[in-house]
């Protein structure tokens, strides 16, 4: 088993209220020319239609401008990563905005917001919640900071060479050289290598898209130990829904290999288990294997989407932290599935690292 890791760039700043909420989701991908390196596959076209459509039709307020590229030959590692601006607001501001943007008739939202106390439940002196630009603006919090495709900060995300986030996947040739695997492109045909075992390109792109939308954790690893990489007590929204047991949140002191899981009902229901070890994998990724888009390990020969992963965990976590599902009358089968899951009891990154 061999592991590869790439770093995430994070820009931190304070933010003010003010952005307006879009009525319809609009995820847009801008592709570097090298994304279509396999001449038999229009990977960019599928990103801009099918994959963008998954998010835009699932969430009414998921708006993000995303640049996607392969790393320069020889500079990539693992499967990929994402860079995005993040800014902080007081916990009270986040909770107020989250409450005011609860989706009508969305039991998932009501339960999640109801589980949050009046004051910041994360221990430490920080007291702020750290949001990505895409999530902040979905909640009506005015972030105007973005990132260019070269990794520089900018102030007009969605305009010109300024994006909410940048996805960089390992170059197919490098991926094959490092892992003896490459990418496949579902029903489009074509493979970047001649090997049998490959990773689904679009599943990896969705994994990184989720992180730009806000599924990142403030927990990280430094010199083999867990750290709060955003400052003492500064958590991300998903960290507010991270539990080790009923009514017991899991954070820095328990990021040590013990159980941690996503829950919207104060820890009574384990929806999906988090990676919770200082192993250089993302703490914001699930510890499961080949079950969910946001699993901490890439999955060979498997196609995962946010709409077909186990327990619909990815949709539920994005919904809980601030993205809205369509109105109940238009939710169709997706709404029915989420309604059933909201009452079911289960007993029980940019990915920084993928492992073969």
Quickly count: other Cβ atoms within 10 Å of residue 75's Cβ. Answer: 12
d(CA 128, CA 353): 27
User: Is 340 inside any structural domain?
Assistant: yes
Confidence class of residue 307 from pLDDT cuts 50, 70 and 90? very high
Predicted confidence at residue 32, as pLDDT, reads 94
Number of domains into which the chain is organized: 1
Pairing of strands 10-11, 80-90: parallel
Judged against a pLDDT cut of 60, whether residue 21 lies above it is answered with: no
d(CA 84, CA 147): 6
Top-confidence residue, 347 or 271: 271
> Could you give the CA distance from residue 40 to residue 53 in angstroms, rounded to a whole number?
22
Q: Higher pLDDT residue, 4 or 138?
A: 138
What's the pLDDT at 302? 87
Lowest mean pLDDT among 26-30, 114-118, 300-304, 329-333: 329-333
Domain membership of residue 1 (yes or no) is: no
116 in any annotated domain: yes
Return d(Cα 273, Cα 113) in angstroms, integer: 20
Can you give the pLDDT at residue 195?
59
Residue 39 counted as domain residue: yes
Closest CA to 350 of 101, 93, 166: 166
% helix / strand / coil in the chain, to the nearest 5? 30, 25, 45
Task: Name the nearest CA neighbour of 353 among 295, 282, 301.
Answer: 282
Residue 290: inside a domain: yes
Q: What is the pLDDT of residues 235-254, one digit of tens each?
A: 999 999 999 999 999 999 99
Average pLDDT of every residue of the chain:
83
In the predicted structure, residue 344 carries a pLDDT above the cut 80: no
What CA–CA distance (Å, rounded) separates 139 from 130?
A: 13
Q: What angle do CA 331, 215, 35 make, to 5 degrees?
A: 90
The string of pLDDT tens digits covering residues 179-237 is 888 888 886 765 555 556 789 999 999 999 999 999 999 999 887 889 998 888 899 99
- Structure token pair of residue 6: 């790439």
Give the pLDDT mean for 244-270: 96
Residue range 70-92: mean pLDDT, rounded: 89
Interatomic CA distance for residues 236 and 211, integer angstroms: 11
DSSP 3-state of 350? coil
Q: Determine how many CB atoms are found less than 10 A away from the CB of residue 243.
A: 25
Per-residue model confidence as pLDDT tens digits over 42-57: 899 999 999 999 999 9
Separation CA 200–CA 282 (nearest Å): 20
Q: Would residue 179 count as lying in a domain?
A: yes
Answer whether residue 3 is part of any domain. no
Residue 154 lies in a domain: yes
Instruction: Please state the φ and ψ torsions of residue 206, each to the nearest 5 degrees.
Output: -65, -40
Write out pLDDT tens, residues 146-182: 999 999 999 999 999 999 999 999 988 888 888 888 8
What gap in Å lies between CA 10 and CA 168, rounded to an integer? 15
Q: Which one is predicted more confidently, 339 or 1?
A: 339
Residue numbers of the domain that contains 306:
9-355
């Amino acid at each position: 088993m061999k592991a590869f890791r790439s770093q995430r760039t994070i820009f931190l700043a304070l933010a003010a209220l003010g952005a307006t909420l879009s009525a319809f989701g609009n995820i847009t991908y801008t592709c570097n020319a090298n994304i279509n390196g396999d001449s038999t596959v229009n990977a960019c076209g599928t990103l801009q239609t099918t994959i963008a459509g998954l998010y835009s039709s699932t969430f009414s307020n998921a708006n993000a401008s995303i640049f996607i590229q392969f790393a320069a030959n020889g500079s990539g590692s693992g499967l990929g990563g994402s860079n995005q601006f993040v800014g902080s607001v007081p916990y009270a501001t986040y909770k107020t905005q989250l409450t005011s943007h609860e989706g009508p008739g969305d039991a998932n939202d009501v339960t999640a917001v109801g589980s949050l106390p009046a004051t910041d439940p994360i221990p430490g002196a920080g007291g702020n919640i750290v949001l990505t630009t895409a999530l902040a603006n979905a909640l009506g919090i005015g972030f105007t900071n973005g990132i260019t495709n070269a990794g520089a900060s900018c102030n007009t995300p969605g305009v010109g060479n300024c994006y909410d986030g940048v996805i960089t996947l390992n170059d197919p040739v490098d991926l094959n050289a490092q892992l003896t695997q490459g990418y496949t492109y579902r029903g489009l045909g074509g493979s970047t290598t001649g090997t049998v075992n490959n990773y689904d390109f679009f599943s990896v792109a969705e994994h990184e898209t989720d992180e730009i939308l806000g599924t990142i954790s403030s927990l990280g690893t430094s010199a083999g130990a867990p750290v709060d990489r955003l400052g003492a007590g500064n958590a991300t929204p998903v960290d507010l829904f991270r539990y080790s047991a009923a009514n017991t949140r899991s954070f820095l002191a328990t990021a040590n290999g013990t159980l941690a899981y996503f829950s919207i009902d104060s820890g009574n229901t384990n929806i999906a288990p988090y990676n919770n070890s200082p192993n250089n994998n993302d703490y914001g990724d699930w510890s499961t294997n080949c079950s969910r888009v946001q699993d901490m390990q890439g999955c060979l020969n498997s196609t995962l989407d946010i709409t077909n992963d186990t327990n619909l965990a990815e949709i539920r976590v994005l919904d809980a932290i601030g993205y809205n599902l369509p109105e109940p009358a238009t939710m169709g089968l997706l709404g029915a599935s989420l309604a059933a899951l909201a009452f079911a009891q289960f007993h029980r990154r940019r990915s920084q690292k993928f492992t073969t």
